[in-house]
Structure 1
Amino acid sequence: MRAPDFWQTDAMMARALSPLSWLWRAGAGIRAMTTTMRHPGCKVFCVGNFTIGGAGKTPTAQALYQTLRDLGVEAHFLSRGYGGKLAGPHQVDPTKDTASDVGDEPLLLAQSGPAWISRDRGIGAEAACNAGAQAIILDDGLQNPSVIKDCSFAVIDSGFGIGNGRVIPAGPMRETLEQGLAKIRAIILIGDGNPAFLDTLPASVPILRARVVARNGPAFTGRRVVAFAGIGRPAKFYDSLRAVEANIVETVDFADHHVFHKDELAALRHKATSQDADLVTTEKDLMRLPSAERDGISALGIRLEFDAPEQLVNIVSAVLSDG
């Protein structure tokens, strides 16, 4: 979903919608009270966020997987499988499954390590543990009450912060900041910005600074490209292309998790050809393209780079040694 402009300010529309936020919060409260929480029997690390929209959870989950692997821990990803038709629990097979089966994010995560999808996250976590996982990386599960987490991280885009701090629909927050802070071990702040809400945080909340960097940036330096994206915040992708000095001649935005149709891809190819440019998209968007439609479309690969990677290692190590 695309964030409306008033989510960034305390404008009249935000104030007018504030009473409806109580309905959202009441629904979340009822869900929590009527859901049976359980622990799967192996460590659960949750990567989530406080707000709607893309914050950088996927590269964070991949970085966490690498950290666990470096520590000798067999970790499996677990996702709801948004956008896929399978309910699970199902272990993703990147050689056979498609985004329409399991969703784009699990398909991308499965290229890094074992990944599962399950609408019932509790059952999915148990399936992964029974299959040999020593740790679960729960993708976008901070507000999910079905799984007991050993450690949760809130991923925040430093350029967006928490918007106006109000709960949906008055703002982008899935819950109040106080509720979110009570669930997490640390905040992972992506980018060089300093959002105002940082000044209100208690000193006890660690902030891990990180930034998204391109894995294959030189391949795009100096290239004329038509860039398209169907992610939460396409502007972040375009900024990454500019950072590697790609020559963006046009950008085309689609809705988050957009399913591309042949006529749309044909129109994109025409735009690129008419401007003597190449088509480039995100890795996540590439996962949603049929294999037969990927020819001539490149993807900018990204990874998360921490300012002080030992901070993440120390937190993960402490969680692993606890109990």
Structure 2
Amino acid sequence: MTNRQITVAALPQGALGPEHFEMQDAPRPEPKDGEVLLRTILMSIDAANRSWMQGATYRDAVKAGDPMPTYAICEVINSRSPRLSPGDIVAAESVWADHVTRPAHKVQKLPKVQPLSHLLSVYGIAGKTAFHGLLSVGQPLAGETIVVSAAAGSVGGYVGQIGKALGCRVVGIAGGPEKCAYVTDELGFDACVDYRAGNIFKPLRAACPDGVDVYFDNVGGDILETTLALMNERGRVVCCGAISQYDTTTPTGPRNLPGVIVVKRLRMEGFIVMDFAHNDAKATRALQRWVASGQIKVTEDIVDGLENAPAALIGLLSGDNRGKRMVRVGADPT
């Protein structure tokens, strides 16, 4: 039985394109003692996928010829470990492929949640990143102003809705009038600034008449530089991502560092979601309550077909997604 997988044909020197990927057929792997054979159901598509091609980060760099890494929701097909049984639903560090084998102790058995896609969005990487980053790093108080970049994206949309649930004023930054309308009308943000309309300083200042207390940064670059100028004293900057810098050979950074941080006594802190894994159960309980009460709306952007994973990532980097993007490789178990 063959197994499709997508490898990195060549590392990009500039913008990522379909030519940087290659679909290959190989024999389906068989599990060894202590391993499980997994059928891929859903794969997470994240801007971080692109950053892995630029060098080592919190994980090893992706090299030419490597299968493209991903985080995936899978079904156990065959188990040679007492830890897991066929039919179990698990989360795994995986690759873009129909099937993979993994050591059983390195995958996480998941609860039964319908639809399974929620385990990648609101109860998965996106929702937990928003929760941990905003509460543990940003530490907002009711009445404060939160600004969120990439507000229509997988993480930004949840950050804003959590901020509203906590009693904060929330202002988004997104690309284009349609996305801005979605952020305010559907997600309930107080305002949204269109960065594609030009210089955002004046409209962002108008949307934040009391200044910015917490900035949740998903993009870096010029938007980070502009928002820093509007921060209040003792403000907190949550550094979650830098999507504006991943797909270029000439990255830029804010020119007003470290001066603005010193003058305003800002705290600027980066994080990754695994830093707060010890609080995942707390995050899930809170997110479930907010979803049940209608304070959080779940938005998912699902692309069908393993073969469409490269286009899904390329499109994500250009901002064509709305909500958490993922690729469906296989059907949910019946």
Per the shorter chain, which TM-score range? 0.3 to 0.5
Give the structure-2-normalised TM-score. Answer: 0.33
Give the structure-1-normalised TM-score. Answer: 0.34
